[in-house]
A and B are shown apart, each in its own frame.
Chain A
Amino acid sequence: MKTIPSLSLKNSPIPIAIMQVGGQIVATSDALFSFFEYSSNQTITDITDLFGEVSEAFNKGIRTNEEFSEDIKVLSNTGELRWLKANVYPLSKKEKLFHISFYDFSQKIEYDLARQANNIAKVGSWTVDLVNNEVHWSSETRAIHELPAEYMPDLEKGINFYKEGESRECIIEAISECIASGKPFDLELIIITGKSNEKWVRAMGSAEQVNGKVLSLSGVFQDIDQAKRQRLNYEVLSDRLRVAINSANVGVWDFDLINKNLFWDEKMYDLYGISKSDFKGVYEAWESTIHPEDKERAGNEVDLAIKGEKKFDTEFRIVKKDGEIAFIHAEAEVFCNKEGKPYRLIGANTDVTRSKRRDQRLTQLLNVTEEQNQRLLDFTNIVSHNLRSNSSNISMLSGMLDADLPLEKQKQFIEMIRTSAERLDETIVQLNDVVKIQATSKYDMDRMPLRPMIEKVIESINGLVLETSPLLDIDIDDSIKVLGFKPFLNSVFLNLFTNAIKYREPSRQLKIEIRAKVLNDNTIISFTDNGIGINLEKNRSKIFGIYKTFHSNKDAKGVGLFITKNHMEAMGGKIEVQSTLGAGTTFNLCFNNSI
């Protein structure tokens, strides 16, 4: 049965509202108006006028008819968030009236939030009062220094926590300058804490000036030890990685399979010989640089790698902008998400052109060596034939030179023994020639004009030439030279001429045609006759073998082309043959002028 204490209520400095159970406001304090930013001529009739829709918790509190308090968020007229506490208690149970007083605790909330944030971020603060020479540290600043709460700092002590050397010099300089000119600082330095731990901190400071005079400094102090160390570690690692990648000449690429974005590092552009601006950063651009013959295979290998069927580890050729071909060795790793779906492909490319070319050169050398070995094998086998056939003849013939043999036969046998002995000697001279070729070095070679050399060879076989009167068609530019060893060159041409004469077709006049041209580093000479020719289908593999002859010609000894080929190869050149049985033969000599 109480009346509403309206007068005292109205004058209360506290914002108070009297509310009925349904939400109607039946009385207010004047302070309520200003608290909720109403002007005094406005009216407040319902609780929703104060803080909009009431919460379920508030309604529940009302229904219990007991004292309670509730935190309420409202927006101010300027749009700022306000935290209000509403303290509610029932005035009269019968009339169901409630006394609600309000209290704004926004600032406290902000303070708490800031404190929480500071704790999490390990941020402390400090001030230096230069007038009274007082230093104040926040509790977090002390905590970062690993010092007890009662620790009393001063400027010198503070500075001495910085590690001797670079860190301390830096902070002294920064603070001095801040005091002198008001210049703020923001540094990452090392301190030695009260527990002797080394720690990376970020020290920020600025000056407060009055009439151009610095009165105090204040700033923020942050523990960045973990982050800094991680960053430093990362830098060390990435430096190492960079050095490794640079020294290995490795290009790295990163292919985003979802968005089809291809990233190349600088080295990749180097390797592919294109500039960054030419490249669209898409897979197709990579594909377009690959050699046409390798494109399909390389593309397939990428697909297989993405599907996880085969590791990407392959080699392909690329065609650079200037048309140069390079060999690339490529390896890549596929990255998959939790569902096992690939989303990223990272790979490394190396230019293996040099080692590839070295391999090719080695294979080439190996082939030449194998060929030479094969010929040496022929050599030993067939040498035994020529040596043994003559020596065995001598042995047989001399063994039968006895009284039983008719005088006529004896004379014949002695003549044969003499001839066999000569042939034996001739064979040994030829073998000596072969041995000499193997022992000749490339350093003895000279560049010699071709035409005079050929003319000299023809002169030296004047007798043969006069006898057979061949038609000589020699068209060689005077400027053409070959790099070779003079005795070998003479021997090569002498052998070709005598072969052409020896194996001429008797029914027609012998014609010899010689042409020469220079192509890149090579001088190529063709030597063509219209002789009886060689059946190459049958004899290609043994034409340059020792003691292989293909004609019934009695003069054929089969050593000439073997020696010719060896002479050519000893000079770094090549000899090849084309022939049609009955029509003639062409020998192509290729001299390498760049050895």
Chain B
Amino acid sequence: MSANEMFLVDDDLFFRVASDVLIKRGIPELDIVQFENGLEAYQALVERVENLESLPKLLFLDLNMPIMSGWEFLEELKGVSSTICEQIQIYIVSSSIAPEDVNLFETYDFVNGYISKPLNLQDLEKVNETLSLIGDV
């Protein structure tokens, strides 16, 4: 149904490089597309919304980013298309453990989870489980 792709949205180059290696180990069947901020990722999604097949299965979203932060990205997404929200498994992956951030994420019902950095293989295994569940349906 969707492309075998995942979006990795984070302004931190080091994190993207490290995650790239880690995700390839944890969820090897996904191709990773990297974005430096919310706006780039948002524009890519809007381009693909015409063709649902081309939407990614998974999206890892950082919160603190220049130009368009993770929250701003979620707000834009909320306003645009419920299809995108339903189609994609979205996880916030942030270094923030501030209660405001953790609480705020719960107000977006289309966000599947909050992963606190550093990302590890256990996190990816859990994500993979939900992905395969949906894949079975």
Report A's interface with B, CB cutoff 8 A: 381-382, 384-385, 388-389, 391-393, 395-397, 399-400, 404-405, 409, 412-413, 416, 419-420, 547, 549-552, 556
Inter-subunit contact B118/A393 (CB<8 Å): yes
Q: Are A392 and B22 in contact (CB under 8 A)?
A: no
The complex places the Cα of A389 from the Cα of B11 at a distance, in Å, of 11
Contacts of A385 in B (CB 8 A): 64, 94-96
Structural contact, B118 and A396, CB atoms closer than 8 A? yes
B120 within 8 A of A: yes
A393-B15, A397-B14 provided; 14 other pairs, C-beta below 8 A?
A: A381-B98, A382-B64, A385-B94, A391-B118, A392-B15, A392-B118, A396-B15, A396-B18, A396-B19, A396-B22, A396-B118, A400-B18, A404-B25, A552-B66
B21 is an interface residue with CB less than 8 A from chain A: yes
6 closest residue pairs by CB, A with B: A392-B118, A388-B95, A392-B117, A396-B18, A389-B95, A381-B98
For the complex, give the distance between the alpha carbons of A399 and B12 in Å. Answer: 18
- In angstroms, how far is the closest chain B Cβ from the Cβ of A556? 7
In-complex Cβ contact of B117 among A382, A389, A549, A550 (8 A): A389
Q: Of B17, B18, B67, B117, which is in contact with the most chain A CB atoms at under 10 Å from its CB?
A: B18
Contact (Cβ within 8 A) B66 A416: no
Known: A405-B21, A552-B66, A556-B66. Contact between A395 and B14, CB under 8 A? Answer: no
* Interface 0/1 of B81-109, CB less than 8 Å to A: 00000000000001111101000000000
Choice from B14, B67, B117, B119 contacting A419 with Cβ under 8 Å:
B14
Which chain A residues border B14 with CB–CB below 8 Å? 393, 397, 416, 419-420
- Contact indicator A400/B21 (Cβ below 8 Å): yes
Most chain-B CB neighbours within 10 Å: which of A392, A405, A420, A551?
A392
Some 5 contacts from A to B, beta carbons below 8 A apart, are: A384-B98, A385-B64, A388-B95, A413-B17, A419-B14
The reply to whether B119 and A396 contact each other, CB–CB distance below 8 Å, is: yes
Q: Across the two chains, which residue of chain B brings its CB closest to A388? A: B95
Q: Chain A residues with Cβ under 8 A from B15's Cβ?
A: 389, 392-393, 396
A99 → chain B, closest Cβ, in Å?
A: 125
Chain A residue nearest in CB terms to B100: A381
Number of residues on chain B facing chain A (CB within 8 A): 23
Smallest Cβ distance from B98 to chain A, in angstroms? 4
Q: Which residues of B contact A (CB under 8 A)?
A: 12, 14-15, 17-19, 21-22, 25, 37, 64, 66-67, 94-98, 100, 117-120
* Contact partners of A389 in chain B: CB under 8 A: 12, 15, 95, 117
A400 to B124 CA separation, bound complex (whole angstroms): 14
Q: CA A381 – CA B98 in complex, angstroms? A: 6
Measured CA separation A396–B64 after assembly (Å): 19
CA–CA, A388 and B117, complex, Å: 8
- Cβ contact within 8 Å between B67 and A552: yes
- Report the Cα distance A382→B67, complex, angstroms: 17
Given A388-B117, A550-B66, A556-B66, A393 and B18 contact (CB-CB distance below 8 Å)? yes
Give CA–CA (A552, B64) in the complex, Å. 13
List residues of chain B with CB within 8 A of the CB of A550.
66
Contact indicator B97/A395 (Cβ below 8 Å) = no
A residues less than 8 Å from B37 (CB atoms):
552
From residue A482, how far is it (CB to closest CB) to chain B in Å? Answer: 34
Chain B residues contacting A396 (CB-CB under 8 Å) are 15, 18-19, 22, 117-120
C-alpha gap A550/B95 in the complex (Å): 20
How long is the Cα–Cα vector from A389 to B15 in the complex, in angstroms? 8
Given contacts A384-B96, A384-B98, contact A409 B21 (CB under 8 A): yes
B residues within 8 A CB of A556? 66
Nearest residue, chain B, Cβ from A549: B66
- Give A417's nearest chain B residue, CB to CB: B14
Q: In the complex, what residues of A have CB within 8 A of residue B66's CB?
A: 549-552, 556
> In the docked arrangement, what's the CA distance between A404 and B25, Å?
10
**Bound Cα distance from A412 to B37, whole angstroms:** 23
Question: Which of A381, A393, A397, A551 has a CB less than 8 Å from the CB of B96?
Answer: A381
Say how far A546's CB is from chain B's closest CB, in angstroms. Answer: 12
Q: Is the CB of B100 within 8 A of A416?
A: no
How many angstroms from the CA of A552 to the CA of B36 in the assembled complex? 10
A545 to chain B, nearest CB (A): 12
Contacts of B22 in A (CB 8 A): 396, 400
Residue of A nearest to B94 (CB): A385
Q: Measured between alpha carbons, how far is A393 from B14 in the docked complex, in Å? A: 7
- In the assembled complex, the Cα of A389 lies from the Cα of B100 at a distance in Å of 18
Query: Nearest-CB distance from B95 to chain A (Å)?
Result: 4
Measured CB to CB, the nearest residue on chain B to A397 is: B18
**Roughly how many angstroms separate A110 CA and B18 CA in the complex, as a whole number?**
129
A416 and B98 alpha carbons, distance in the complex (Å): 26
Q: Which of B14, B96, B118 has the most CB of A within 10 A?
A: B14
Closest Cβ neighbor of A419 among chain B residues: B14
